[in-house]
Amino acid sequence: MTPPILTTAAVSSPAAVHAYSGMDRARALLELATVVPQHDVGDFHLAAIREWGESIESKDTYTFGHCERVAQNAVAVARALGLSESEQTSIRMGAHLHDVGKVNVPSEILNKPGALTAAELAVIHMHPVWGEQLLSAAHLPWDLKPMIRWHHERYDGTGYPDKLRGDEIPRSAQIVGLADVYDALTIQRPYRLAMTPAQAIAEISKCRSAWSPRVFQAFLESLPALSRNSRFH
């Protein structure tokens, strides 16, 4: 499917222009990170990745701060799983960039107040693929592409874009995906009101088979940290 990034509406709106300029700044920071002293390189990468993630949020007025909260909550789940500091760092970076492919999604689809058509939903379902493609040009010390491409896969095989099932889905992608769903449910959208954290947890529990039992259990164990990170806090 051809990305809709060359249409006039997609590239001429202020939000789209801001998103692309933010990506340019992020890429410049990533290039600079290759020449700064080693002890400072992590700060440069984090600054670049935050810049890149926030540039995507500028297209969707409802999701400001979403990537930061997903990153914080994903790290909380990773910590509950006992993952190492380096694994937690990788998950933080992947969470910040999990939606980067949405730069290719027209704002009128992202902000549509009603139900999406089948064609519009197909465009949305392409954003993990486009995100992986965008990230392929970035030089990073972590492999973030599995989290970018597969954070919408589901353990029971009902996700997208590749219909992976069970442990075919990397644990890091499951963690980011679960943190993403939790935060998405607590954000007001054009088509529904935001849920409270308790309501979101109840809703997620109805489809707990979408994640491995261990990842879901770690999510439950990390709820105190997730509550502190919530936009309702």
**Which of 130, 75, 66 lies closest to 100 in space, CA to CA?**
130
Per annotation, catalytic residue among 59, 102, 145, 163 = 102
The dihedral sign for the CA sequence 17, 71, 185, 229: negative
Catalytic residue status for 145: no
**Which of 153, 197, 187, 200 lies closest to 172 in space, CA to CA?**
153
Q: Is residue 10 within 8 Å of residue 106, measured between CB atoms?
A: yes
The dihedral sign for the CA sequence 57, 62, 66, 68: positive
First vs last C-alpha separation in the chain? 41
**Which of 130, 56, 140, 34 lies closest to 94 in space, CA to CA?**
140
Catalytic residues: 102
